[in-house]
């Protein structure tokens, strides 16, 4: 997938040249998804759509590129910054703003390609860090394991602990179901007072005769044979999640 690029430069010819250079880039490829001549125009575009990288001039009318970069870095999910300027003396200030690269004009294709590769590596690193953050740290029988949240099919409250079930095995977690629901509400759905199930694993809703609660409903999940009881209170939410 091509990198989505915002080109910020007050010179139209410079933006045009950058567009042509980007069209010749590959591995990774890049497309100009927006252009701006000032910092104010750039911020309007950044508020409207996501970009992977901003190719940013420094000397511009109004707020300069360094000021804009500082504002961009305060965004919740900031794009990468690559400075493109005719002035080499701002390099230290640029890297203090965590710029991925600093290119001097006139920009050569090979140098631009190298900068985009740095952007791609930075994106991959952030994605890996995010994936690592979405893990459960489980202490079990003297061992500590990290279980990726994406592998968890359900959480089920059992006495003072919570059973964490993946397709491969079960773990015991010292936590509360309410705490897990609050923290991972986007990925998990409460189906019963004692169970949360992974939304991505939902397979079917079926009639179920529970020994304790009598006739009712249960949810079947991909990856495990067992079914989990669904309370009447949560029945509507489960049907909505299944699209039925």
Domain of residue 174, residue span: 135-242
Same domain, 14 and 122: yes
Give residue 220's pLDDT: 95
Same domain, 38 and 65: yes
Same domain, 198 and 84: no
Q: How many structural domains is the chain composed of?
A: 2
Give residue 90's pLDDT: 79
pTM over 0.85: no
- Note the pLDDT tens digit of each residue in 122-140: 887 776 666 556 788 888 7
Phi-psi region of 28 (alpha: psi -120 to 50; beta: other; left: phi over 0): beta
Name residues of the chain where pLDDT drops below 50: none
| φ/ψ (deg, to 5) at 227 | -115, 155
Q: Which residues pair with 48 in a beta bridge?
A: none
**Cβ atoms 213, 172 nearer than 8 A:** no
Give residue 240's pLDDT: 92
Give residue 213's pLDDT: 66
* Chosen domain end from 71, 102, 132: 132
Same domain, 157 and 230: yes
Same domain, 112 and 141: no
């Amino acid at each position: 997938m091509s990198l989505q690029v915002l080109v910020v430069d007050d010179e139209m010819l410079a933006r045009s040249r950058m567009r042509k250079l980007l069209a010749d880039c590959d591995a990774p490829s890049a497309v100009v998804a927006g252009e701006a001549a000032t910092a104010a125009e750039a911020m309007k575009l950044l508020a409207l759509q996501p970009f992977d990288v901003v190719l940013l001039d420094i000397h511009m009318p109004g707020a300069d590129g360094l000021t804009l970069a500082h504002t961009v870095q305060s965004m919740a999910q900031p794009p990468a910054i690559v400075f493109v300027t005719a002035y080499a003396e701002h390099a230290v200030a640029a890297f203090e703003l965590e710029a991925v690269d600093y290119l001097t004009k006139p920009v050569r294709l090979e140098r631009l390609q190298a900068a985009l590769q740095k952007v791609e590596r930075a994106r991959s690193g952030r994605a890996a860090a995010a994936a690592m953050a979405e893990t459960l740290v489980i202490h079990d029988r003297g061992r500590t394991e990290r279980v990726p949240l994406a592998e968890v099919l359900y959480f089920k409250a059992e006495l003072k602990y919570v059973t964490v079930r993946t397709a491969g095995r079960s773990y015991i977690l010292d936590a509360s179901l309410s705490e897990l629901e609050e923290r991972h509400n986007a990925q998990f759905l409460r189906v019963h007072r004692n169970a949360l199930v992974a939304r991505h694993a939902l397979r079917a809703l079926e009639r179920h005769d529970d020994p304790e609660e009598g006739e009712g409903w249960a949810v079947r999940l991909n990856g495990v044979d067992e079914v989990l009881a669904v309370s009447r209170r949560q029945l509507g939410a489960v049907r909505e999640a299944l699209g039925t």
